Amino acid sequence: MSEPEILRFENVSLRFEDTPALDQVSFRMIPGETVIIYGAAGSGKTTLLKTALGLLKPDSGRIYVFGEDVTNFTEPQWFPLRARMGILFQEGGLFDSMTIAENVAYPLLNSVAARASNQRGEVEEKVRQALRFVDLEQTLDKFPSELSGGMRRRVGIARAIVTEPRLVLYDSPTAGLDPITAYTIISLILKERDTLNASALLVTHRFQDGHLMAKFRYNPSSGQIEAASQNGGNAARTRFFVMNQGRLVFEGSLAELAAAKDPYVKKFAK
């Protein structure tokens, strides 16, 4: 345990009535690492993300975020921690009564941490910067309902990264999108990972998403996605998990995933 941890689960279990949503889940993430979680619908991927964010409380086990034991944290204790994390919800999770600018500015203006620190200056510039990052600066005054599904996810990414969090959680960012838009979204996540060096926990059921994250990198000078070298960089620090019925049934690299023999795990390897 030489490197500092950013997230650790120790035998975490959670049941919804009689159904196990998480079953003895254990793993750890270090700064700069990308973890891709594959799994069928209902396998517990989103539950894992929500538990990592403190939106759900585990029945048993222990959770550590940024080295702090948060298992028994109360809601107010979570607020400063969540300010250091970013989340992209499956459908974007945007506030439909707010404009895009207000949505992206939300964590800067409304979080308990932002209010306590009273650092509300430069909000407009930060919002523009985040929207420029996802190439949507022209949508500042629009409402979420005026945008397409892919654009809403891109705004969601802008909102997730506007506070420059150390850990970003992505809940099925490409679900329900056409292949071109899905590629755009993953490219933005790659760009975010390689420019801000944040750790990422990405839940998906599409093999291509994980493959891109593990094999490609963002080149800041060309502004393009290109094949990553095998020797280092964030792409090489990508690990893969596979979940089935609340259990973590696989943990390893892309090569190990490709070589997996388990019939369930193999389904996510191509």
Partner 1 sequence: MRNVFRSPHYGDDILIQMDVIGFGSLLIVMLIGLFSGLIMGQQMARALRTYGAIGQIGYVVSVALIRELGPVLVALLVAGRNASGIASELGSMKVTEQIDAMRALGTDPIQKLVTPRLIATAVTLPLLTIIADFLGLVGGYIIAHFQFAVPFSQYWVPAYQNLAYADVAEGTVKPFAFAIIIALVGCFYGMRTTGGTEGVGRATTRAVVVSSIWIFVTTYFIGAIFINMR
The residue range among 9-17, 46-54, 146-154, 243-251 that interacts with partner 1, by the rule CB under 8 A, is 46-54
Which tokens belong to 269?
């390897």
The residue range among 2-10, 93-101, 131-139, 229-237 that interacts with partner 1, by the rule CB under 8 A, is 93-101
Among 64, 79, 143, 264, binds partner 1 (CB under 8 A): 79
Among 55, 175, 249, 258, binds partner 1 (CB under 8 A): 55
Calpha distance 21→51 (Å, rounded): 11
89 binds partner 1 (CB under 8 A): yes
**Between 95 and 178, CB nearer to partner 1:** 95
188 binds partner 1 (CB under 8 A): no
Query: Closest Cα partner for 131 from 167, 93, 104?
Result: 104
Check if the beta carbon of residue 209 is closer than 8 Å to that of residue 179: no
Give me the 131-160 binding string for partner 1, x by CB under 8 A, dash otherwise: ----------------------------x-
87 binds partner 1 (CB under 8 A): yes
CB of 163 to partner 1, least distance (A): 8
200 binds partner 1 (CB under 8 A): no
195 binds partner 1 (CB under 8 A): no
Cα-based distances in Å from 93 to 6, 50, 98, 115, 243:
24, 13, 12, 22, 24
Dihedral of alpha carbons 57, 66, 121, 152, sign: negative
175 binds partner 1 (CB under 8 A): no
Give strand pairing partners of 166: none
Calpha distance 70→88 (Å, rounded): 21
223 binds partner 1 (CB under 8 A): no
Cα-based distances in Å from 165 to 92, 171, 177, 226, 248:
17, 16, 26, 25, 26
CB of 95 to partner 1, least distance (A): 6
Check if the beta carbon of residue 248 is closer than 8 Å to that of residue 260: no
Check if the beta carbon of residue 204 is closer than 8 Å to that of residue 172: yes
CB of 59 to partner 1, least distance (A): 19
Give me the residues that bind partner 1 (CB under 8 A), please.
50, 53-55, 75-76, 78-80, 82-83, 85, 87, 89, 91, 93-96, 106-107, 110-116, 159
